[in-house]
């Protein structure tokens, strides 16, 4: 690649970047507002545009709505009115006073949820596949947020009415451990642990192929995909790209597939899916990244005539989460057993000789 090509790639990454290329654990300070809030810009947001920063934190508002709010003076930067394009600096103070958007579609729903742990301060849930964490982008029903609203009387509201108690997120088809806070103080303490990267996360994934090294660190930069804005891609450093780091270990290998143990040290959007694809071992049945809508028994055994479907979503599971309890201070580790579709796939791979 020539110097000109590298420069062009960096520019394209910067032009395509948007707030979804930041840490997925960036705390959602507010969603639907009922009262003014004050924010302090953290180090990772240094250099971001004001409207980008707001759209990342206030996910229930469109970027256009937020831009109009800034221009109308409902958002002030360091006590003064600012333009939406204003670049932020560390410790800038942002005062935000927005009106709630229409939430008539969002109501509590009696959806079963698998509770792994609960005390008077927090809840840990094993999120199911095909479940969006909170409403948005046309999805207003069947969400984890709606289920939480139905099953629990007390949840933090620091994330807004559409994100009750939700401290961090998982992709729609990624299963596993997710933390829920019962009050705002606990929410802030847990968010701080994510922000400081004190939370230890371990995922399990079934991939096509076997990595050349049994274990290694993957260290790249990522940004929003040049052509498909719902995807992420590995790119050159610079612009608005973000460093992404994952440690992997091959937990079990088969003839043409492997079970991976993945430890993300950063929390970029789709990081594990992008990194596994980057090293040539993509996660099976990942419709978005490899165009594979399902994984069949025949694919596992090599018998093309066997079309029995084993799994119909990316084989990625948030297996274990280790945090410091926000009140007791004790280290706690919560595990979510492998879901049945991944376990079934592994059983077939283990008995296959091809």
SS (H, E, C) 193-246: HHHCCCCEEEEEEEEECCCCCCEEEEEEEEEECCCCCCCEEEECCCCCCEEEEE
Q: Please, which pLDDT band fits residue 240 given cuts at 50, 70 and 90?
A: confident
251/353: higher pLDDT:
251
CA distance 274 to 66: 30
Q: Please, which pLDDT band fits residue 100 given cuts at 50, 70 and 90?
A: low
- Give domain status of residue 10, yes or no: no
pLDDT at residue 229 in the model: 80
CA distance 163 to 135: 8
Instruction: Let me know whether 65 and 144 are in one domain.
Output: no
Query: What's the number of domains the chain is made of?
Result: 3
Instruction: Let me know whether 142 and 247 are in one domain.
Output: no
Instruction: Let me know whether 213 and 175 are in one domain.
Output: no
- Give domain status of residue 23, yes or no: no
- Residue at which a domain ends, from 197, 224, 239: 197
CA distance 277 to 209: 10
- Give domain status of residue 55, yes or no: yes
Instruction: Let me know whether 226 and 268 are in one domain.
Output: yes
With beta carbons less than 8 A apart as the criterion, state whether 74 and 66 touch.
no
pLDDT at residue 86 in the model: 92
Q: Please, which pLDDT band fits residue 38 given cuts at 50, 70 and 90?
A: confident
Q: From the CA atom positions of the chain, what is the Rg in Å? A: 21
Instruction: Let me know whether 74 and 131 are in one domain.
Output: no
The catalytic position among 21, 92, 157, 171 is 171
Q: Please, which pLDDT band fits residue 181 given cuts at 50, 70 and 90?
A: very high
pLDDT at residue 43 in the model: 86
Instruction: Let me know whether 124 and 222 are in one domain.
Output: no
- Give domain status of residue 316, yes or no: yes
For the domain that residue 316 is a member of, what is the CATH number? 3.30.2350.10
Q: Please, which pLDDT band fits residue 52 given cuts at 50, 70 and 90?
A: confident
Instruction: Let me know whether 213 and 257 are in one domain.
Output: yes
Query: Crossing angle for the helix pair 63-71 and 50-57, nearest 10 degrees?
Result: 130
For residue 246, the Cα-to-chain-centroid distance in whole angstroms is 14
What domain range includes position 212? 201-351
- Give domain status of residue 191, yes or no: yes
CA distance 44 to 22: 9
- Give domain status of residue 181, yes or no: yes
Tokens of 51: 């409207």
298/106: higher pLDDT:
298
Active site residue 171: yes
Instruction: Please give the share of the chain, as a percent, with pLDDT higher than 70.
Output: 86
- Give domain status of residue 301, yes or no: yes
pLDDT at residue 60 in the model: 66
H helices of 48-128, where?
A: 50-57, 63-71
For the residues 104-129, what does the mean pLDDT come to?
A: 92
Instruction: Let me know whether 179 and 233 are in one domain.
Output: no
With beta carbons less than 8 A apart as the criterion, state whether 302 and 354 touch.
yes
- Residue at which a domain ends, from 157, 182, 197: 197
Residues 6 or more apart whose CB falls under 8 angstroms from that of 220 comprise 234, 243, 244, 275, 278
**C-alpha distances out from residue 82 to 37, 41, 230, Å:** 17, 15, 29
pLDDT at residue 257 in the model: 98
Instruction: Let me know whether 45 and 128 are in one domain.
Output: no
- Give domain status of residue 340, yes or no: yes
């Amino acid at each position: 690649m020539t110097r000109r090509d590298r420069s062009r790639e960096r520019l394209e990454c910067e032009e395509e970047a948007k707030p979804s290329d930041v840490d997925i654990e960036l705390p959602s300070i507010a969603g639907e507002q009922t009262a003014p809030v004050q924010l302090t810009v953290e180090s990772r947001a240094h250099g971001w545009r004001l409207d980008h920063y707001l759209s990342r934190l206030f996910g229930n508002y469109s970027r256009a709505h937020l831009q109009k709010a800034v221009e109308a003076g409902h958002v002030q930067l360091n006590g003064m009115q600012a333009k939406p394009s204003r670049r932020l600096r560390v410790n800038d103070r942002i005062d935000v006073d927005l009106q709630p958007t229409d939430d008539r579609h969002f109501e509590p729903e009696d959806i079963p949820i698998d509770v792994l742990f609960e005390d008077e301060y927090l809840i840990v849930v094993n999120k199911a596949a095909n479940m969006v964490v909170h409403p948005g982008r046309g999805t207003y029903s069947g969400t984890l947020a709606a289920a939480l609203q139905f099953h629990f009387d007390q949840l933090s509201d620091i994330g807004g009415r559409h994100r009750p108690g939700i401290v961090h997120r998982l992709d729609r088809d990624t299963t596993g451990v997710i933390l829920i806070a019962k009050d705002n103080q606990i929410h802030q303490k847990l968010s701080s642990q994510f922000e400081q990267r004190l939370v230890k996360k371990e995922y399990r994934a079934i991939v096509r192929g076997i990595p050349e090294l049994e274990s290694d660190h993957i260290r790249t930069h990522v940004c929003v995909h040049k052509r498909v804005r719902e995807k992420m891609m590995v790119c050159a450093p610079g612009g608005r790209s973000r460093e992404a780091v994952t440690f992997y270990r091959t937990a079990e290998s088969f003839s043409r597939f492997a079970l991976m143990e993945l430890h993300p040290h950063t929390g970029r959007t789709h990081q594990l899916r992008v990194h596994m694809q980057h090293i040539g071992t993509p996660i099976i049945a990942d419709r978005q990244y490899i165009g594979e809508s399902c994984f069949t028994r025949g694919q596992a055994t090599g018998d093309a005539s066997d079309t029995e479907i084993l799994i119909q979503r990316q084989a990625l599971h948030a297996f274990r989460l280790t945090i410091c309890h926000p009140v007791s201070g004790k280290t706690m580790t919560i595990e979510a057993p492998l879901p049945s579709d991944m376990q079934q796939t592994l059983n077939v791979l283990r008995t296959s000789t091809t």
